[in-house]
Amino acid sequence: MSFYHRIKVFCFQPLVLISAGIALLWSFADLSERFVTDNISGNSRDKSLVHKEFLSRIISSEQQKDIAALYDKYRVTENNASQEKESVGLSLKEQQEQQGVLKQVFVGDLKIELKAVISQGAPAGNSPIEGKNSTVQQQLKALLLVSNAKAGTAEVQEFANNSLVHGYRLSINNNVQVSLTRTLEQGEQQITLTMYQIK
């Protein structure tokens, strides 16, 4: 049996024919999806005209307006998006009234969250979190996620115990909580920033 004859017999096997057919159909579907869909989606204005013509044949103009009004409340416009960005966070008065145990603190455009308390270079056998050794206590660091809602940025920043954090004095309480304090005209503002709320 020649090489050509073996290839001819192999190609006409049912499994090979079915596989080739499936591959051909898949290729055709892929190509048509890429080229035809791009033309349709790229021309959304024409698409909406087609929908309007179709709808005008089926329903009255009054019903069309009612349907459009229902969809309008879900549309995102530039004004809605900018209002949402501005409404993220708290007003200055609300920021000054923040007290107690919180998962997040707002300072200006910033939102601050506690992500971890770590110790660096702590000697073996001492527990820096419990504060058994005061020299070790200074080696604790708090990792805070500082997000700027308006700029759309977020960054994890490292702060040492008793350092300043955007106007607050930070002191590490334990491995899941830090205290943030600052003096305002109304008095001292004390916030316990925690990694999670204990119920």
**Within a domain: 108:** yes
pLDDT band at 144 (very low <50, low <70, confident <90, very high): very high
* Cα(40)–Cα(44) distance, integer angstroms: 7
Q: Which residues contact 151 (CB under 8 A, 6 or more apart)?
A: 109
Q: Are residues 186 and 131 part of one domain?
A: yes
**What local confidence, expressed as pLDDT, does residue 47 receive?**
55
Q: Are residues 168 and 110 part of one domain?
A: yes
**Within a domain: 77:** no
Dihedral in degrees, nearest 10, Cα atoms 125, 131, 133, 136: 80
The distance from CA 12 to its chain's CA centroid, rounded to whole angstroms, is 54
Q: Are residues 152 and 113 part of one domain?
A: yes
Q: Are residues 134 and 62 part of one domain?
A: no
CB distance 127 to 138 below 8 Å: no
Q: Are residues 139 and 60 part of one domain?
A: no
**Within a domain: 187:** yes
What does DSSP say about strands 168-174 and 177-184: parallel, antiparallel, or unpaired? Answer: antiparallel
Full residue range of the structural domain in which residue 144 is found = 92-194
Q: Are residues 177 and 96 part of one domain?
A: yes
**What local confidence, expressed as pLDDT, does residue 88 receive?**
57
CB distance 154 to 148 below 8 Å: yes
Q: Are residues 190 and 120 part of one domain?
A: yes
DSSP run (H or E) holding 68: helix 61-72
pTM (two decimals): 0.49
The mean pLDDT value of the chain amounts to 78
Q: Are residues 182 and 102 part of one domain?
A: yes
**Within a domain: 87:** no
**What local confidence, expressed as pLDDT, does residue 5 receive?**
82
**What local confidence, expressed as pLDDT, does residue 77 receive?**
64
Domain total for the chain? 2
Q: Are residues 106 and 157 part of one domain?
A: yes
Q: Are residues 98 and 60 part of one domain?
A: no
**Within a domain: 83:** no
Q: Are residues 108 and 51 part of one domain?
A: no
pLDDT band at 2 (very low <50, low <70, confident <90, very high): confident
101: pLDDT strictly greater than 80: yes
pLDDT digits (tens, 9 = 90+) for 67-86: 888 877 777 665 555 544 44
Express as a percent the part of the chain with pLDDT over 70.
72
pLDDT band at 136 (very low <50, low <70, confident <90, very high): very low
**Within a domain: 168:** yes
* Cα(121)–Cα(131) distance, integer angstroms: 15
Find residue 148's DSSP bridge partners. 110, 153
Q: Are residues 120 and 149 part of one domain?
A: yes
